[in-house]
Amino acid sequence: MGQDSALTTGTGKEMKKRRSPRAETARLAKDAARRAKEAAILARAKQEAAIFAGEKHEVERLTIEAQEADRLADEEQDAAIRAYEELEAEMQAREEDEAAFMAG
């Protein structure tokens, strides 16, 4: 019994509990992108607080931190998009294989 059959057998409830490795990767990538975006938002808030407090060196440090957080958030978002695209392609291929099998 291969991986494909293990993923396509069972009740709907059982299938929901089991995720393909690619689906799990996509979910983790989405979570990482969300956390990275939250970190970028927090970095910007700290930067604004330092600006209002007139702390020049802290503003410079936090500006760099915010830029890095933005860059990481963009990278995580791109990774999440790629993971979902790969998952969609895998699901499409599986549907086509099943349709071809059913057609005979």
The mean pLDDT values, 10 residues at a time, for the chain of 104 residues are 46 59 81 86 86 85 88 88 88 89 84
Note the pLDDT of residue 53.
85
What value, to the nearest 5°, has the Cα angle with vertex 95 and ends 94 and 99? 120
Are 39 and 73 in contact by the 8 Å Cβ rule? The answer is yes
Note the pLDDT of residue 6.
45
Residues 6+ apart with CB under 8 A from 20: 3, 7, 87, 90
Note the pLDDT of residue 1.
40
Note the pLDDT of residue 102.
87
